[in-house]
Amino acid sequence: MKFVRYGQIGAEKPGFVDADGAIRDLSSEIADLAGEALDPTKLDALAARDPADFPLVDGKPRLGPPIDGVGKFICIGLNYRDHAEEVGAEAPKEPVVFMKATSAIVGPRDEIVLPRDSETTDWEVELAAVIGRKAKYVAKEDALSHVAGYCCAIDVSERTYQNERGGQWTKGKSADSFGPLGPWLVPASKVKDPQQLGLWLEVDGDRKQFGSTELMIFGVAELVSYLSQFMTLQPGDVIATGTPAGVGHGMNPRQYLRAGNKVQCGVDGLGEQHHFVTVDA
C-alpha cells in the first residue's frame, strides 16, 4: 500500500493508492498520516485490508506531503563519498547532522520557489526515512523497527546562504518549498532493503544525479541509531539521508536552478516528483 495525503494545502486528507493507481480515502480509519497512526504495526494492519473497503476519491486531486505533524526534519550531509569528493570535502567519520525547517515541506508536485535574491539554489535528491515509533538510545540492529516507511525527498539548498552567510547550513536549507516530500509513504515492511534503492534527478530532462543507496557511508539503520543517542526521535520525524554526486555546486562550471526549470526525481519503488521552479514575489 502506498500512503498519500491529498487535497488543497492545509486541508489534506489521508489516503492510499490502490493497484489501479486510484486514490482511496482513509479518513474513516485515521484522522491523518501523523503521530500514532505512523506506528509500523498500524500501517501494516491498514495495508492488509481489502482496498475495496475504502471509498474511491474522484478526479486527480493534488498530492500533499505524505505525512503530517513533522516535528523534526533532520538532514545528513556528505553521506555519499562521490558527493563529498565533488564539493571538495573529506568523507565524514561521523554523520554530519543539520536541521531543515519543517515550514520548508511541500508536496511532490508543488512549485519550488527560489528566494527573491537567490542565485545559487541547488538540487539534492534523497531517500527519506520517516520515524513511526519513539526511538531513544536504540541499537543499530533494532533501529529499522522504529521506521514507519520511506519516501522520496529533495534537499533544495541555497549554497550562498549555506556557505557564505555566517555558518549554519540550516539557513541555506530552510526556505519555503525547500523540502519536497512524496509522492508516497511506502511502509518499511514493503521496502526489502533501504540500502538497495536507486535514486535520480533531472533538470529540464537532463539527468544530473543517478546513484544507489548502497553507496551511503552511513546506512539508514546506523543513522537512526546514531541520531537517537543525541535526541529522542518521535513519530513523524523525517531523516533525509544524503545525496549522491551530481549536484550543481559540484559541476564545472557550476549550475543552479532558475525560474522556468522543471525538476523531476525519483527513488526506486517510492514514486516520482515533478516540480516547476518559480521565484518568490
**What percentage of the chain exceeds 70 in pLDDT?**
100
Domain locations in the chain as residue ranges? 2-53, 73-279
DSSP lists the bridge partners of residue 121 as 158
CA 67 – CA 65 distance, rounded (Å): 6
Q: Can you say how many angstroms the Cα of residue 278 is from the centroid of all Cα atoms in its chain? A: 20
Q: What's the pLDDT at 84? A: 86
Percent of the chain scoring above 90 in pLDDT: 93
pLDDT in the model for residue 86: 87
* 164-211 tens-digit pLDDT: 988 779 999 999 999 999 999 999 999 999 999 999 999 999 999 999
Q: In Å, how far from its chain's centre is CA 107?
A: 10
The whole-angstrom separation of Cα 126 and Cα 151 is 9
Q: Which CATH fold topology does 73-279 show?
A: Fumarylacetoacetate hydrolase; domain 2 (3.90.850)
Average pLDDT, the chain: 96
Q: What is the pLDDT of residue 281?
A: 85
Q: What is the pLDDT of residues 218-233, one digit of tens each?
A: 999 999 999 999 999 9
- pLDDT surpassing 80 at residue 25: yes
Mean pLDDT of 152-170: 92
Binned at pLDDT 50, 70 and 90, residue 92 comes out as: very high
- Report, in angstroms and rounded to the nearest whole number, the Rg of the chain calculated over CA atoms: 18
Query: Measured between alpha carbons, how far is 38 from 49 in angstroms, rounded to an integer?
Result: 16
- State the average pLDDT over residues 231-255: 96
Residue pair 156/174 in contact (Cβ under 8 Å)? The answer is no
SS3 state at 46: helix
Query: Cis before residue 65, ω within 30 degrees of 0?
Result: no
Distance CA 216, CA 267 (A): 14
- pLDDT at residue 130 in the model: 98
Distances (CA, A) of 226 to 101, 138, 143, 231: 21, 8, 9, 9
Residue 82 has pLDDT above 90, yes or no: no
